[in-house]
């Protein structure tokens, strides 16, 4: 067995259900596993085949062709040029050839593609003939006339389980293979009704088949049924049943030949489960979901009715992963799946698309309002925080809903509509739901054209940098400026960075915007005069994509040397959530910047998930407390205590604490008292154009 034994759990579980007669090869055709029973068939033993190409077992003159169809199969198993149960010549170790029947199943474990080939000696090489032939022969009058002895031998020695049953379904004879199949002695079988060993759910089957024969049907019946083994486990068999008739054509008894397909079926079930379910949550995956959706759509076109597709997107799930690690992240996803399942109706389908997305198909809705009810039910189960190892995690989600009736668009468009609605919800109604409306498609198109226009804007100088003064809270003096990008669109007027920065972040444009901001801000800051011997510093925002771009440090070095501004006068702002996107990488970049003499500020602190330990690791020079802490929509004691804790924490860790969004004199006084050194906000000044900066440099605000 070799290599496979060292593999993961997934492998071990798989091996446990693989029947003995299989070979497992990877996408390159390298053999990784050979079932024990194949040693005799191939002539190779003890893992001699492991690591060799499957072509070792193919006669030389057909190797080339086999290689071709194998490669094709690997790239698209559904095309199935290799077929199921196709017959092949197998080259044994001793160069003899045997005819085998091969059934292929593609599957994936550990993210790699594999193929399981079930290999059996083909019927003609089996000693006692194929069961179908056998049954036919048994039914012929000639065979009935054969000597008792020869017949008994054929029956007894047959490796396929076989029984004879009379017209009342009572077993009149059973061979050894059948006794082994259900784990009983012959004395416990012969004379008993076959239903005594049959699975309760399959009781009807043999009666139905008998009816058919009694009505004169000649062809042997083949079907699948289940027995219950003496030890309680279920045995699945493929049955071939033929009537034995007398000279007058009357059915006298039945010859039943069976094949144990339990392992095969379980394997298929597992592989199907694996192919159609997400291993982490056990929920349906996208393939299965789309299949159900197509069925639902077909039913709607036939019968009418209403359905809805809900796309659930977890808010800031990335932050959970980065903060608590993937292990907790995975547990959280599984926990969420369990809660969603609790409110999933039996007619509906819940699926996990991977990462932070779930899809829910709601069928048979009484009205479209019911889709909103379903959304609320799903959101409500997240209200209670999740607790892992004593850590509380609040996880919310945002839902986009697409409605569907008889005349709706096709299913691919439905999913896209749910996606557009999700996007709209993320923008305007986080933590809640939005139902798709065709006008939203307009806004999706609008977003796209905005990105195109942003390219033009960058080239045509529609972008500029404005500067918001940063004030020393003790003295009210302006000590620095944060540069904030402005876009003046020739037709649409001013467009907020809160609109265009996120759009640019989804394209490579963000890196260019970052470089533009750096060059412009540094070139302008070069001309700012010193006040009391110190020239104000300039803060430049860099978004996550820009910060994690390899070229960033180079661009900073270039802009610094181009402008001649001392590195000490530059602060790079990165938002908390961007810093957490890849903590290790953030650390490396931060360190390189600090070595250059450039300082790093952690922006919008308090809106992400950074834990204390990460803050200690990152050690930004400046901690910018998000304005939601500084001017909360609803004041409360809780809130004051939180603000105090955050300020004290930053100061204790040796960081300069800056409060964003100071809007009143009272907030100024309060923050100063708490130990905040710097502040910015509309109370002092909004961002101003570059020609107004000079007037603010020597300025001191009065409390
Ligand atoms: P930010 O970096 O946190 O910038 C502070 C934002 O708060 C600015 O909004 C500013 O005008 C606003 N603000 C300042 N004082 C107050 C106040 O007292 N009350 C209120 N309500 N708001 C105040 P702005 O200029 O619209 O920028 C929004 C965000 O867009 C920025 O948040 C930043 O994340 C991003 N951004 C702006 N310029 C750039 C840039 O050049 N590059 C990058 N990557 N992002 C930028
Ligand atoms: Mg900022
Ligand atoms: Mg901020």
Task: Please name which of 315, 316, 318, 305 lies closest in space to residue 361, comparing C-alpha atoms.
Answer: 305
Region of poorest pLDDT, from 103-112, 184-193, 300-309, 577-586: 103-112
Ligand nearest to the CA of 549: 1
Region of poorest pLDDT, from 41-45, 332-336, 689-693: 41-45
How many angstroms separate the Cα of 599 from the Cα of each of 342, 537, 619, 652, 698?
50, 10, 10, 18, 23
C-beta contacts of 655-659 below 8 A and 24+ residues apart: 655/619, 655/620, 655/621, 655/622, 655/623, 656/621, 656/622, 656/623, 657/622, 657/623, 657/625, 658/470, 658/601, 658/622, 658/623, 658/624, 658/625, 659/473, 659/624, 659/625, 659/629, 659/630
Residue with tokens 């360190």: 591
For 270-284, the pLDDT digits (tens) are 766 777 888 889 899
pLDDT, position 633: 61
Rounded distance from Cα 509 to ligand 2 centre (Å): 19
Rounded distance from Cα 624 to ligand 3 centre (Å): 7
pLDDT, position 137: 38
CB atoms within 10 A of CB 469: 25
Same fold, 154-260 and 268-436: no
pLDDT, position 138: 39
**Crossing angle of helices 497-505 and 438-459, rounded to 10°:** 90
pLDDT band at 133 (very low <50, low <70, confident <90, very high): very low
CB atoms within 10 A of CB 691: 8
Q: What is the mean pLDDT of residues 184-195?
A: 91
Q: What angle do CA 100, 101, 105 make, to 5 degrees?
A: 130
User: In the sheet that 22-26 helps form, which strands lie side by side, from edge to edge?
Assistant: 31-34, 22-26, 112-121, 97-109, 86-91
Which residues does residue 306 pair with via DSSP β-bridges, in sequence order? Answer: 405
Looking at the CA of residue 682, tell me the nearest atom of ligand 1: 18
Question: Would you say 571 and 538 are in contact if contact means Cβ atoms under 8 Å apart?
Answer: yes
Q: Which residue has the higher pLDDT, 207 or 271?
A: 207
User: What topology does CATH give the domain 154-260?
Assistant: Beta-Lactamase (3.30.450)
DSSP H helical ranges for 460-582: 497-505, 509-525, 544-547, 552-563, 576-581
Q: What is the mean pLDDT of residues 215-243?
A: 87
Kindly report the protein residue whose alpha carbon is nearest to atom 27 of ligand 1: 497
Region of poorest pLDDT, from 164-178, 240-254, 472-486: 240-254
Looking at the CA of residue 683, tell me the nearest atom of ligand 1: 18
Residue with tokens 């059996």: 120
Structure tokens at 190: 């012969």
Kindly report the protein residue whose alpha carbon is nearest to atom 22 of ligand 1: 661
Q: Please tell me which of 33-37, 42-46, 183-187, 218-222 the model is most confident about, judged by mean pLDDT.
A: 183-187
Question: How does 15-28 read in b/e, with b if 16+ C-beta sit within 10 Å?
Answer: beebbebbbbbebe
For 483-542, the pLDDT digits (tens) are 999 999 888 888 889 889 988 887 889 999 999 999 999 999 999 999 888 999 999 999
Kindly report the protein residue whose alpha carbon is nearest to atom 3 of ligand 1: 604
Phi-psi region of 183 (alpha: psi -120 to 50; beta: other; left: phi over 0): left
Quick check: CB of 655 below 6 Å from ligand 1?
no
Identify which of 466, 503, 541 to mutate to test ligand 1's pocket (most ligand atoms within 8 A of the CB): 541
Structure tokens at 515: 């470089």
Quick check: CB of 516 below 6 Å from ligand 1?
no
How many angstroms separate the Cα of 662 from the Cα of each of 107, 339, 485, 616, 676?
59, 41, 20, 26, 12
Residues 6 or more apart from 373 whose CB is under 8 A from it? Answer: none
The domain segmentation of the chain, as residue ranges, is 2-147, 154-260, 268-436, 448-697
Q: What angle do CA 379, 384, 386 make, to 5 degrees?
A: 105
pLDDT, position 109: 64
Instruction: Examine the pLDDT at 610 and tell me if it is beyond 80.
Output: no
pLDDT, position 78: 53
For 166-179, the pLDDT digits (tens) are 888 889 889 999 99
Q: Which residue has the higher pLDDT, 101 or 310?
A: 310
Residue with tokens 């790699």: 112
DSSP H helical ranges for 1-130: 9-17, 38-42, 60-75
pLDDT, position 246: 74
Quick check: CB of 606 below 6 Å from ligand 1?
no
Rounded distance from Cα 641 to ligand 2 centre (Å): 24
Q: What is the mean pLDDT of residues 1-24?
A: 61
pLDDT, position 556: 96
pLDDT, position 117: 82
Rounded distance from Cα 491 to ligand 1 centre (Å): 23
Distance from C-alpha of 689 to C-alpha of 703, rounded to nearest angstrom: 25
Instruction: Examine the pLDDT at 345 and tell me if it is beyond 60.
Output: yes
pLDDT band at 142 (very low <50, low <70, confident <90, very high): very low
Kindly report the protein residue whose alpha carbon is nearest to atom 23 of ligand 1: 661
Enumerate residues with CB within 5 Å of ligand 2 (an ion): 541, 573, 603
Instruction: Examine the pLDDT at 101 and tell me if it is beyond 80.
Output: no
Rounded distance from Cα 624 to ligand 2 centre (Å): 8
Rounded distance from Cα 260 to ligand 3 centre (Å): 68
Quick check: CB of 627 below 6 Å from ligand 1?
yes
Quick check: CB of 543 below 6 Å from ligand 1?
yes
657 in helix, strand or coil? strand
For 613-625, the pLDDT digits (tens) are 667 778 899 999 9
Instruction: Examine the pLDDT at 110 and tell me if it is beyond 70.
Output: no
Ligand nearest to the CA of 494: 1
Q: Which residue has the higher pLDDT, 391 or 53?
A: 53
pLDDT, position 86: 63
Distance from C-alpha of 500 to C-alpha of 377, rounded to nearest angstrom: 34
User: What topology does CATH give the domain 448-697?
Assistant: TIM Barrel (3.20.20)
Quick check: CB of 502 below 6 Å from ligand 1?
no
Instruction: Examine the pLDDT at 147 and tell me if it is beyond 50.
Output: no
Ligand nearest to the CA of 576: 3
Rounded distance from Cα 687 to ligand 1 centre (Å): 9
Which residues does residue 351 pair with via DSSP β-bridges, in sequence order? Answer: 284, 359
Quick check: CB of 291 below 6 Å from ligand 1?
no
For 381-415, the pLDDT digits (tens) are 999 999 988 888 999 999 999 998 887 777 778 88
Q: What is the DSSP string of 390-449?
A: TEEE---EEEEEEEEETT---HHHHHHHHHHHHHHHHHH-TTSEEE--HHHHHHHHHHHH
Rounded distance from Cα 541 to ligand 2 centre (Å): 5
pLDDT, position 457: 94
Question: Would you say 161 and 257 are in contact if contact means Cβ atoms under 8 Å apart?
Answer: yes
Distance from C-alpha of 646 to C-alpha of 641, rounded to nearest angstrom: 9
Kindly report the protein residue whose alpha carbon is nearest to atom 2 of ligand 1: 541
Distance from C-alpha of 90 to C-alpha of 179, rounded to nearest angstrom: 33
How confident is the prediction for the chain on average, in pLDDT? 84
Determine the CATH number of domain 2-147: 3.30.450.20
Quick check: CB of 663 below 6 Å from ligand 1?
yes
CATH-assigned architecture of domain 268-436: 2-Layer Sandwich (3.30)
Question: Would you say 640 and 659 are in contact if contact means Cβ atoms under 8 Å apart?
Answer: no
Distance from C-alpha of 194 to C-alpha of 257, rounded to nearest angstrom: 13
């Amino acid at each position: 067995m070799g290599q496979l034994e060292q593999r993961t759990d997934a492998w071990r579980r798989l091996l446990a259900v693989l029947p003995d007669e299989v070979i497992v090869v990877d996408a390159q055709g390298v053999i990784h596993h050979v079932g024990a029973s194949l040693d005799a068939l191939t002539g190779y033993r003890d893992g001699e085949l492991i690591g060799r190409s499957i072509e070792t077992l193919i006669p030389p003159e057909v190797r080339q062709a086999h290689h071709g169809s194998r490669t094709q199969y690997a790239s698209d198993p559904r095309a199935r040029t290799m077929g199921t149960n196709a017959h092949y010549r197998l080259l044994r170790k001793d160069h003899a050839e045997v005819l085998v029947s091969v059934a292929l199943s593609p599957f994936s474990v550990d993210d790699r593609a594999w193929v399981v080939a079930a290999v059996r000696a083909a019927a003609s090489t089996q000693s006692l003939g194929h069961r179908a032939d056998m049954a036919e022969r048994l039914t012929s009058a000639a065979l009935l006339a054969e000597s008792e002895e020869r017949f008994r031998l054929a029956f007894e020695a047959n490796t396929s389980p076989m029984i004879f049953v009379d017209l009342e379904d009572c077993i009149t004879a059973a061979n050894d293979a059948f006794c082994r199949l259900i784990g009983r002695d012959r004395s416990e079988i012969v004379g008993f009704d076959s239903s005594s060993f049959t699975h309760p759910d399959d009781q009807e089957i043999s009666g139905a088949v008998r009816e058919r024969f009694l009505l004169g049907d000649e062809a042997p019946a083949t079907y699948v049924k289940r027995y219950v083994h003496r030890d309680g486990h279920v045995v699945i068999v493929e049955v071939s049943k033929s009537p034995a008739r007398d000279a007058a054509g009357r059915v006298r008894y039945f010859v039943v030949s069976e094949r144990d397909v339990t392992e095969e079926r379980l394997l298929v079930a597992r592989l199907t489960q694996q192919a159609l379910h997400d291993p982490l949550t056990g929920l349906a995956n996208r393939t299965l979901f789309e299949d159900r959706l197509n069925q639902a759509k077909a039913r709607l076109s036939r019968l009418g009715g209403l359905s809805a597709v809900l796309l659930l997107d977890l808010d800031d799930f990335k932050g959970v992963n980065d903060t608590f690690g993937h292990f907790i992240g995975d547990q959280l996803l599984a926990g969420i799946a369990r809660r969603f399942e609790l409110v999933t109706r039996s007619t509906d389908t819940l699926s996990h698309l991977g990462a932070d997305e779930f899809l829910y198909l709601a069928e048979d809705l009484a009205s479209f309002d019911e889709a909103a009810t379903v959304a609320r039910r799903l959101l409500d189960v997240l209200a209670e925080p999740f607790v892992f190892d004593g850590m509380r995690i609040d996880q919310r989600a945002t839902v986009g809903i697409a409605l569907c009736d008889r005349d709706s668009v096709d299913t691919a468009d439905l999913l896209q509509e749910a996606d557009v609605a999700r996007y709209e919800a993320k923008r305007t109604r986080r933590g809640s739901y939005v139902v798709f409306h065709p006008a939203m498609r307009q806004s999706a198109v609008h977003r796209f054209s905005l990105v195109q226009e942003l390219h033009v804007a960058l080239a045509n100088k529609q972008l500029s940098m404005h500067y918001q003064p940063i004030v020393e809270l003790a003295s009210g003096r302006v000590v620095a400026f944060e540069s904030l990008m402005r876009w003046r669109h020739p037709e649409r007027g001013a467009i907020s960075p809160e609109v265009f920065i996120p759009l640019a972040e989804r394209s490579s444009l963000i890196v260019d915007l970052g470089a533009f901001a750096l060059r412009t801000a540094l070139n302008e800051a070069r001309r700012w005069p010193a006040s009391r011997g110190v020239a104000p510093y300039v803060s430049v925002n860099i978004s996550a994509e820009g910060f994690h771009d390899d070229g960033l440090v180079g661009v900073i070095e270039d802009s610094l040397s181009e402008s001649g501004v001392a590195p000490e006068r530059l602060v790079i702002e990165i938002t908390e959530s961007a810093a957490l996107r890849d903590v290790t990488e953030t650390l490396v970049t931060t360190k390189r910047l600090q070595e250059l003499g450039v300082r790093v500020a952690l922006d919008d602190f308090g809106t992400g998930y950074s834990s204390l330990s990460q803050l200690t690791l990152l050690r930004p020079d400046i901690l910018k407390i998000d304005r939601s802490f500084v001017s909360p929509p609803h004041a409360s004691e809780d809130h004051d205590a939180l603000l105090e804790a955050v300020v004290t924490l930053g100061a204790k860790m040796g960081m300069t604490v800056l409060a964003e969004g100071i809007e009143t004199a009272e907030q100024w006084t309060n923050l100063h008292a708490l130990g905040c050194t710097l502040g910015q906000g509309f109370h002092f000044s909004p961002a101003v154009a570059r020609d107004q900066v000079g007037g603010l440099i020597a300025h001191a605000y009065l409390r």
